[in-house]
Structure formats: C-alpha cells, structure tokens
A and B are shown apart, each in its own frame.
Chain A
Amino acid sequence: MFDVAIIGGGAVGTSIARELSRYKLLVVVLEKEEEPAFGVSKSNSGIIHPGTQNPPGLLKSRLCVEGNRLTRVIAQELGVDFKEVGELIVAFTEEEIFRLHRLLEDARALRVPGVRMVDQVWLRGHEPHLSPRVKAALFAPTAGIISPYRLVYDLAENALRNGVQIHTDSRVTAIENTRPHFIVHTSKGPFKAKYVVNAAGLYADGICRMLGITDVAIKPVKGEEFILDKKRAYLTNHLIFPLPSQSTKGILVIKTADGNPMVGPTATEAESKEDLSTSQEGLEKVFSAVKRMVPEINEKDIIAYFAGLRPKAGEDFIIRSEQAAHGCITVAGIQSPGLTAAPAIARMVTRLLRQQGLGLRRKILFHGHRKRSVHLFAVKPAETQKLIEQDPGYGDIVCRCEMVSAKEIRDAILRGATTLDGIKFRTRCQAGRCHGSFCTTRVMKMLAGERGIPVTAVTKRGKGSEVVKHDRADD
C-alpha cells in the first residue's frame, strides 16, 4: 500500500514526487509513456519566468513568482544548469509603451524583483541585434533558462534516490475509490494508495472522470517551435517577448540551456491530444513574428522543430482537493508558467495533502543533493582533460555536432534512458545540426548492448517507434 500515487511523470509530477520524498512516505509515480518527461514537458520552452506577464490575483501568478525563487535552489541542489538571462518585453509604439507600464505595475504588485523600463540607448548596448524599431522594453532580470527535460530527469532521479518508485509505460486505465484508499489500475497492474495526485497533464480530465469529477476539461493548445543552429546563439542576450495577448505570452525569441536559439511558440487549438504535427503556416507565422523583433533571424538556420500541447483548462491553474473523492488532489490546467511554478505547486500539493490528513514526518536522511551530470559541451578544455584522465570514455566522442562522449551516453543509460529520445534529452546526442546522421547507429548499438536487447527492439520513444525493422543477422 502506497501513501501517495502520483499520476504523471512530467515536470509537475516529478516535482511533487521529489518534494514528498522528504517525508517518511511510500510514494509511487505512474507514467504512461516509456520515460518521464515524454508528455507535455518534453516540448517545454525551458523558460523560468519572472512573473511579469500574469495578472495579479490568479493562482498561477503567485506560484510563478514563488517558483522562480525555488527553482534556483532546486537547480543548485540537483546540479542542473540554471542561467539567469533576463527577459525583455518589447514595445514598438507609444501605445505599447503605455501597456508596458501597466505590466510594470502588475509585476510590482506581484513583487517580481528588479523589473524596470529600459530605453533605446540601453537596448542598443545590451541587445544589439534587436530591431531598431523597438522603442522601449520592460526588463525583468530574474527570468532564467533551464533544460526542461534534464530538470525532470534529475528530479525523478533524486526522488528515486529518496525512495520514490517510478513506473513508466504504466497507463492508468481505471481508479476504484474503495475508501479509505484507492486502487489505481494501470497497464502494468493495480496500485493501492491512500492518496492520489492527478498530475496527468493533457489527460488530467480523463483521470478526473475516473474519480467521478466532471468539471475539468482540458483543451489542448498547440505550440510550434523552431530550434536554430548554435552558431546563431549571439543573436540575443535575453529572452525577447512581444507584449502578451489575452491568452498567451506571444511568439518569442528564446535562449535555451543548450545554447541554440529557439523561436515560437504558436498558439492554435489542437485537433486532438495526440496531434503533435507542425505546419507550414506555423513556420511562416513564427518567423514573421520574430523577424519583426530580431530581423537577422533566418529560416535557413533551422535545425529542428516540434509541436507541443499546452494542457489548458481555463485561464488559471486548477489545484485543489476534491470533495467528491476525498484524498484526491487535482493538479490540472498547468500550462505556462507551469515549469516555473512546478516547485511551488509541489509545496502547495503537499499542504493540501496534509490538510486531507496525510501525516508528514521528515526523514532524518533526505538526500537533497545529486552529483552534477557531466556535459562535455558545457565544460572548459582544462576540465575535459581531467575528465578524460579519470575515464577514457570521455575521450570517445560519439556525437560530433554536440560533442557528446560514449561515457555520457552510457551514464544516461545507467540513469534510466531506455530510448533514443531519452538519450537525446539527457545528453543532446543526436540533437545537433546533422540530426543523428552520423551517431544513430552507434547509439542504437550502445542502447542494445547496455540493456541486453536486440538492436531491432531499440525505439525512438517507446513501443511502436522501433528504428529498424529487421536484423539481417537473424535471417
């Protein structure tokens, strides 16, 4: 019998799991995909928002500001790179400048630190590739960037270290409310738990329905994003935002933790919760929007693109204890700024669970820190030299574009990567400009070898996405 079953292994689910792992509790995370972060989280932009574009008074606004502060602590503890790059919300007209002042007031009401207006002279000095037509900008220095998937994997790994069980490939099929506990039925068998936390992202409404809760509806909003070659990292120094619209933060120029600039996202109603297709219209829309802000951005530098779905459930987050199903906490509608807010959400959920009667006793030995994963692309040559002396595997480069060594890939597999995408998200191997042309065969063989599976069983992202159909050696 588990104390808490968390449904969903994304940024929210793993944040809650790690937070709960501080206490003497038996916690299980149930993830339907082959690996954590393979749902909504994998297409996250990786922005740690300062809290400037949300109206005061909403739950998400408060959690965003708190989450920005907490993320720094967590990044430090888990050894995830967090860079405080700051953001600029740009204005082209006097009317837009007026709106920036309104945003400034909102930000101050939410106590977002350091927010101020900057003029053209400042912009020329600090953001030289910005369009000269930008008249002024709102500068929020506490905006940051982080790798969304590396954060999720490190949260999951740390939760695991502290006793949480994580079951992947475990789709929840039904939930029985057999007071005083629940039986969560999954494709991998039933799990008994006293409390259930629904952090199922796009599918949170389906989980609600299994519990008899009918007022939550997730309407997926698609966002297409385009990743540019690292060579263009010089184009911007900050995250560049237009003025937010009623429903979204607009189409942005994003800096990523990996160094590649990224542009997007669009915001269109998705046909289904499985619809991750990109479109020509999306591409045109994104590039015309970002070129207005940074004219040198060019479609020619695209090295990858993807679409993600925001699990929208109205304007605000829904985080609440369910009256109809005592012991169940719903965490739904976690769209932007969900990644930023995740650690604050985790704390809030913990409080809600306590209010529902869950006893929280701190563990004497909570291992809050984890050893920083090595990324050769992020270290200086002197350190590379030392690493290679420690382990020759660091001197065996597999991915030429992103400089990923065999040792890093083996470590990723040991840490739980079971798919090509899992290795890509953890190490960046296959994520560069050649898109795996040169390294895919080697990575496939490493995955097969380390996991003891045939190479034909190696998948891109789980069952059904096997990379090759036949091995001639079997004929």
Chain B
Amino acid sequence: MTGPMIERELVIVGGGPAGMAAALAAHGQGVRDILLIERDQFLGGILNQCVHTGFGLTYFKEVLTGPEYADRFVTKINSTPAIETSLRTFAVALSRTKVLTVIKPGRLQNIAARALIMATGCREKTREMIHIPGTRPAGIFPAGLAQKLINVEGLLPGNEVVIVGSGDIGLIMARRFTLEGAKVRAVIEIESASRGLVRNLTQCVYDFDIPVYFNHMISRIHGKDRVEKVEVVKVDGQRRPIPGSKFELSCDTLLVSVGLIPENELIEMAGVRLDEKTNSPVSEAPNTTAIPGLFVCGNAYKVYDVADSVTADSQLCGRLAAEYLLKIQGDSFRPLSPLEKPCKRR
C-alpha cells in the first residue's frame, strides 16, 4: 500500500439514490462519521439524466422527476454535517481488508473503512454483449447514453431511430426521441412480452403509435461510417430465426436497451465472488458479502425497476452497516467518536 492512509467509520461508494439513502439511514441509526464518495461533480447519479416523471410514487406519495427525487436526498445530505461528501472522487481499488484506494484531482488516497457500502449502481448491457453481427459504425448507443446526450448535453444523436430491447430506458427514450422530433421506426424485442413497466410501454410507445415487434431480433447492422439500416428477423420459442421472416428498417441510430448489469468489479477485486448470471455478490444474507462489514446496496446489489425500491433496499443496508459498526465497537480499529453516544457498548 502506498500513499497516505486515512481511517473512516463508514465509507459509501456512489452518490446516487442508493448511496444517499444508505448514508442517511446509517446516520439515522447513530453513525457519526460517514464519507460519501461520488465520481461525478454532482450527487444524484443516473437520476440527474432521468427528466421524465414517475419517481417517488411510493416513498414520497408524489410524482417527481428524477432530478427532483434526487434533490430531496441531496438537500438532506448537505444539511447533515456528519456526512462528508467527496465529489469527483473515483474508487480504483478495494482490498480484502476494506482499504479503498481513491483518486481525485490532485490526490491518490487510501481509506481504511470500518464498514463499507458499495452503492455503485449498474451499467447497461451493450450491443457487444448480445453479439449483434454486422458493421460497427457511429450511431449505436446504449439507451442510457442517448438519454444523457439529449437530457443533459442537449445533443440529439439521430433522426431515425430503431430501439433494440424493450427495457424501461429504451421505452422512455422512444418517447423522448419522438418529442425531440426524431422518428422512432420500431422497438424490437426478442421476448414475447416487454421487459419494461406496463406504464412505460403504454405511455412511451403505444401512445405515440410506435410499432413494437415482439419475438423479433436484429440479425445485422449495416452502414460503413454511420448506421444505415438494420435487418430484423422473427424468432421461434428457442430464439432461432424463422426463415423467410427477414425485413429491413432504415435508420441512422440504433439504441440498445437490453438490460442492466450491477457494477461490482471493485468488490470482485477484493475477492468477493459474483454470481455469473447476475453479477451480484454471492452471499448468505441480503446486502452482505463474504467480507464482514462490506455491504452492497441498490442496483449494484440487484437491478430494481423503480427508484423507490432502490431507496428502500439502501435504507435497509444503511441500517445493517450501522448495526455492524455497533457490534464491532471496541475492536482494535480505533475508538468511536464521542458523538457516538446513542450506541451502547455491549
């Protein structure tokens, strides 16, 4: 280990809805030394690019946009002095002993965490992961990247769009592209039903008369420099192409919305085994890992459909971490701060 080492009670990696909810819940249980690290320059994570509404129905009993939902938590975090936020801070390594190496502008730092919560979210499956054959031109975007380009950067990726996969982000982006004046040619789904929420299918696709092809897949991408067209083929129950069913759709943009994968490469680096199918940590109890005091919450633990579920999961995880800290209190690490009154020594 090189570089300066600092010691912290509870470190949370990821300042999206999961990390913020976990931080607040742990604080609510009496933890008074919390470091929340976030690689972006703002808290909020992916919520910041979700400008559509429908957030908070369960938790706040209100209809909020993603940024509004995030803001409720950001305000609380910022008014809680015991939670220190470190922005533009990038976790690059994690050891079995819960030493986290972070890089931020001007500094590399090792942080020994008594308890550590990974709230690292998930990434999108790419065109490469589902092996769509054909060329590799510009114009192929994971749906979330297209969402960021439009909603955050004000850039419209293309004019004629085909969406592969009926995940929620893809469905939401079908509406978003249409509202931006682009033509969404079709949503192509290999399964016989949508993977997304029914409300998204109705409000984002059917309401805009966008055709959805269930039991279909993209068999080839064409175009040298920019996407020109895609080949679509009907599949049978075993996902085998049905001969003679092939047709083409011209488009300059292909969005890929075929699922999400928990981002758990850091805990894997620390030696935690990941489930081969889901990329979630293999563990005996929810939100825990084989390493004591190392927790995982939110979409990094399991991909949830709605942000409220992420919040609920992460609150539980925050409490678990607080319980753990209480249990190991007095161990050789270092005494808890005097502020730690509510926790009684066992």
Residues A269-326 near B (CB distance < 8 A): 274, 276-280, 282-283, 299-300, 302-306
B3 and A385: CB pair below 8 A?
yes
B133 and A280: CB pair below 8 A?
yes
Residues A422-475 near B (CB distance < 8 A): 433-438, 440-441, 445, 455-456, 459-473
Contact for B131 among A302, A397, A471, A472, CB less than 8 A: A302
B154 and A388: CB pair below 8 A?
no
Bound complex: CA A379 to CA B158 (Å): 39
B166 within 8 A of A: no
Bound complex: CA A105 to CA B137 (Å): 45
* CB-CB under 8 A for A385 and B2, given A278-B133, A441-B149, A463-B225: yes
A395 and B103: CB pair below 8 A?
yes
A403 within 8 A of B: yes
* CB-CB under 8 A for A397 and B155, given A274-B224, A438-B123: no
Would you give the shortest CB distance from B316 to chain A, in whole angstroms?
A: 27
Contact for A305 among B103, B123, B131, B220, CB less than 8 A: B131
A397 and B39: CB pair below 8 A?
yes
B138 and A467: CB pair below 8 A?
yes
For A405, what are the chain B residues with a Cβ–Cβ distance below 8 Å?
103
B154 and A472: CB pair below 8 A?
yes
Interface string of B229-261 (1 = CB under 8 A from A): 000000000000000000000001000000000
For B225, what are the chain A residues with a Cβ–Cβ distance below 8 Å?
460-465
B131 and A299: CB pair below 8 A?
yes
B291 within 8 A of A: no
B342 within 8 A of A: no
B105 within 8 A of A: yes
For A437, what are the chain B residues with a Cβ–Cβ distance below 8 Å?
123-124, 126, 142, 144-145
A283 and B133: CB pair below 8 A?
yes
For A280, what are the chain B residues with a Cβ–Cβ distance below 8 Å?
131, 133, 219
A121 within 8 A of B: no
Bound complex: CA A468 to CA B253 (Å): 9
Would you give the shortest CB distance from B157 to chain A, in whole angstroms?
A: 5
* CB-CB under 8 A for A469 and B252, given A283-B131, A381-B3: yes
Would you give the shortest CB distance from A459 to chain B, in whole angstroms?
A: 7
B154 and A471: CB pair below 8 A?
yes
Bound complex: CA A463 to CA B225 (Å): 8
B128 and A469: CB pair below 8 A?
no
Total A-B contacts with CB atoms under 8 angstroms apart: 142
For B328, what are the chain A residues with a Cβ–Cβ distance below 8 Å?
none
Interface string of A101-132 (1 = CB under 8 A from B): 00000000000000000000000000000000
Would you give the shortest CB distance from B322 to chain A, in whole angstroms?
A: 29
Bound complex: CA A413 to CA B183 (Å): 35
B128 and A305: CB pair below 8 A?
yes
Contact for B156 among A277, A300, A462, A469, CB less than 8 A: A469
Would you give the shortest CB distance from B135 to chain A, in whole angstroms?
A: 5
Contact for A472 among B104, B133, B148, B155, CB less than 8 A: B155
Would you give the shortest CB distance from B181 to chain A, in whole angstroms?
A: 9
B3 and A468: CB pair below 8 A?
no
For B159, what are the chain A residues with a Cβ–Cβ distance below 8 Å?
469
A439 (CB) vs chain B CBs: closest residue: B145
B138 and A465: CB pair below 8 A?
yes
Q: Which of A305, A385, A445 has the most CB of B within 10 A?
A: A385
Contact for A434 among B93, B124, B139, B153, CB less than 8 A: B124
Would you give the shortest CB distance from A421 to chain B, in whole angstroms?
A: 10
Bound complex: CA A462 to CA B138 (Å): 10
Contact for A381 among B88, B108, B136, B137, CB less than 8 A: B108
B275 within 8 A of A: no
Contact for A279 among B104, B133, B137, CB less than 8 A: B133
B84 within 8 A of A: no
B136 and A397: CB pair below 8 A?
no
B138 and A459: CB pair below 8 A?
yes
Contact for B149 among A300, A395, A468, CB less than 8 A: A468
B2 (CB) vs chain A CBs: closest residue: A382
A83 within 8 A of B: no
Q: Which residues of B contact A (CB under 8 A)?
A: 1-3, 39, 88, 90, 92-93, 101, 103-108, 123-124, 126-129, 131, 133-139, 142, 144-145, 148-149, 152-159, 219-222, 224-226, 252, 265, 268, 276
What are some 6 contacts across the A-B interface (CB < 8 A)? A283-B133, A381-B101, A388-B106, A396-B105, A460-B138, A469-B158
CB-based closest 3 A-B pairs: A464-B225, A472-B154, A460-B138
Q: Which residues of A contact B (CB under 8 A)?
A: 231, 274, 276-280, 282-283, 299-300, 302-306, 380-382, 384-385, 388-389, 392-397, 400, 403, 405, 433-438, 440-441, 445, 455-456, 459-473
Query: Given A282-B133, A396-B88, A464-B226, 9 more contacts at CB 8 Å?
Result: A300-B276, A303-B126, A395-B107, A397-B92, A437-B144, A438-B145, A441-B149, A469-B252, A472-B155
